[in-house]
Amino acid sequence: MILKNKKNKGFTLVELLVYISISSVIILAVFTFVISLMQTQSKITLERETWENAQRSMDRIVRELQKATSIDESSSIFGTNPGDLHFDTYSYESDDIIPTRVYLSNNKIFLQTSAGDELMTSSEVEATNLTFNLFTSASGTISIQTIITVEDEKKVVGKNFNASTTITRSVTLRN
């Protein structure tokens, strides 16, 4: 008769292999989920950054054009990228006319006034399109259509993400 030793309470090799296999599958699933979550968050953040930059730049251009008293058609570049818009704005604070320019340089949008050049897009994104279109009605009313495209690219956990936002707005100048 063979006596079994009740004190031997270890794992068999088969039990150990089953435990390692199940643990590996669970760890791999969790790791894949975390990577996917990080990539999704990065893509959403990237899209938000491009949209916010395009929106902020467009809002500022629209505000400046709403104060415009005239457009310098001879110095402006219409209908092509990169556009260059020269106009005069009225300053309520100083009661003066201020020459103003909006232009694209090194994939950044700038607003130029007598105070100097102001960067309108962040250093994180690239403005790839700034186009101005001039429309004049039969009654002489002038409208400026502005088209802005902002792009960005980031690499997260071995995957490249691209985001692009294009915004178009028109402003009719006051007579």
Q: Which tens digit of pLDDT belongs to each residue from 134-159?
A: 999 999 899 999 999 999 988 877 78
> Does residue 79 carry a pLDDT above 70?
yes
In a domain, 20, yes or no: no
In a domain, 12, yes or no: no
CA 151 to CA 46: how far, in whole Å? 9
Which of the four pLDDT bands, split at 50, 70 and 90, describes residue 10?
confident
Number of domains in the chain: 1
Cβ pair 108, 117 in contact under 8 A: no
Structure tokens at 150: 């902002």
Structure tokens at 145: 């259509």
Cβ pair 163, 47 in contact under 8 A: yes
Q: Which of 86, 43, 80, 49 is nearest to 64 (CA)?
A: 86
In a domain, 1, yes or no: no
CA 79 to CA 131: how far, in whole Å? 6
Q: Around Cβ 159, how many Cβ atoms within 10 Å?
A: 12
Tokens 């101005």 found at: 132
In a domain, 94, yes or no: yes
In a domain, 4, yes or no: no
Predicted confidence at residue 171, as pLDDT, reads 95
CA 74 to CA 65: how far, in whole Å? 17
In a domain, 9, yes or no: no
In a domain, 13, yes or no: no
- In whole numbers, what is the pLDDT of the chain averaged over residues? 90
Continuous segment of H or E residues that includes residue 53:
helix 13-66
pLDDT digits (tens, 9 = 90+) for 86-128: 999 988 888 889 999 999 999 999 999 988 999 999 888 999 9
Q: Which domain holds residue 130?
A: 25-172
In a domain, 14, yes or no: no
